[in-house]
Structure 1
Amino acid sequence: MTTWLVAGLGNPGPAYSNTRHNVGFMVVDELARRARASWSAPRQMRADVVETRVSAGGMGAPGAGAAKVVLVKPRTFMNESGQAVGKLCAFHKVDASHVVAIHDELDLDPGQLRLKLGGGDNGHNGLKSLRKHLATGDYHRVRFGIGRPPGRQEAADYVLAQIPKSLRTDLEIEVARAADAVEMLVLDGLEAAQNRYNS
């Protein structure tokens, strides 16, 4: 059975839980909810982890063609995400080509998704850390559009600001769609998932 490692990128702690920079955490939380699984914190892994599987029946469902999935929320801050991902890949013997990183993307409008394999880091410190610790950039990315900050607001302030209540319903829909995209990527491959979800 193939093992995939699906890492949501974000910052730990309640102060960051409802910020744009944490959309990766929101997506893996949704996948864990679908699997009816609880997060654990394995010793020395510096991450919250769920081990489950995905099949045509969905997350957590056994079945023919099921894949093992390790969901990950690094407990390091965003800039050191690769520490936890690298350790867990080594522990579970997951090649970088079976890693999926879900992250916020300033260059895509809210509601847009882009799935891809490899590419640059585009100034995203979480992706830079993954490249460093995986020794390659050839892993899958689910780029979750958050749009550019309004006016002259600094990008750092924008991604770490609380998401307004007026946008929460739309965000929940987008998080569910990104979770669907991850399931399809693992089960049906990148091209099928790109054709369905890239916008």
Structure 2
Amino acid sequence: MKLIIGLGNPGKEYTGTRHNAGFHWVDRLAEMLHVTLKPEARFHGLCAQVRQKDMELWLLEPQTFMNRSGQSVAALCQFYKIQPDELIVIHDELDLPPGIAKLKKGGGLGGHNGLKDIAAKLGTQDFWRLRIGIGHPGERNAVVGYVLHPPKKEEAQLIDEAIQRSLEVWPLLVQGACEAAMLKLHTKV
């Protein structure tokens, strides 16, 4: 992996919302790696370059709002010549309940505007995704309000646990051992 992207919306009013699960994941990883995300205008996002031993990669939180995430991702990918199979997008997932995190490569976009824009800008859907379950409100017309509000306390705890559990497979992800990471993450202990 050369690029880790956390999806969310910028601004204090969105900080604790379900839609910002990807930002939360990348923030926690940055803490673990002792790096600070900083504004980078040419990439339209908050970025950090990580260099440890033989590893060099970027962390990115697009600041373009969710439905324009691809602008930020494509800018960084083009500049550093990063291919779609060398990145992973961490995002909220309506189709998974809180407490569940799943890893997959490619597939459908599930109506997720951030993923749609990234796929459009990269010209492919064939990239890794780490999906953090946030649950579904039950009605399609309630989705926008649901994702843009904070989860209930018990849901927030489950989402946090899923983020923590998925961060445990980080060493495998960075080595490019995504299949092994998927097996470990998806296996119930």
Let me know the Cα RMSD of the aligned residues: 1.8
| Residues matched between the structures, number | 187
Tell me which residue corresponds to 2:37: 39
Shift of 1:150: 5.1
TM, length-normalised to structure 1? 0.87
Q: Measured at CA, do residues 83 and 151 of structure 1 come closer, stay the same or move farther in structure 2, by a change above 3 Å?
A: closer
Please give the alpha-carbon distance, in whole angstroms, between the structure 2 residues aligned to 1:169 and 1:85. 29
Please give the alpha-carbon distance, in whole angstroms, between the structure 2 residues aligned to 1:172 and 1:107. 17
Q: 8 Å contact 2:101–2:163 — kept in the other structure?
A: no
Tell me which residue corresponds to 1:144: 132
Q: 8 Å contact 1:28–1:179 — kept in the other structure?
A: no
Please give the alpha-carbon distance, in whole angstroms, between the structure 2 residues aligned to 1:69 and 1:163. 31
Question: What letter matches 2:86 in structure 1?
Answer: H
Secondary structure of 1:172's match? helix
* Equivalent in 131, 134, 140 of residue 122 of structure 2: 134
Tell me which residue corresponds to 2:20: 22
Tell me which moved more, 4-13 or 186-195.
186-195
Question: What letter matches 1:51 in structure 2?
Answer: Q
List runs of 5+ in structure 2 lacking aligned partners.
Answer: none
Question: What letter matches 2:120 in structure 1?
Answer: K
TM, length-normalised to structure 2? 0.91
Please give the alpha-carbon distance, in whole angstroms, between the structure 1 residues aligned to 2:169 and 2:47. 20
Tell me which residue corresponds to 2:47: 49
Q: 8 Å contact 1:82–1:129 — kept in the other structure?
A: yes
* Equivalent in 153, 160, 164 of residue 148 of structure 2: 160
Secondary structure of 1:101's match? strand
List runs of 5+ in structure 1 lacking aligned partners.
Answer: 54-61
Q: Measured at CA, do residues 42 and 173 of structure 1 come closer, stay the same or move farther in structure 2, by a change above 3 Å?
A: same
Matched-pair identity in %: 39
Q: 8 Å contact 1:104–1:143 — kept in the other structure?
A: yes
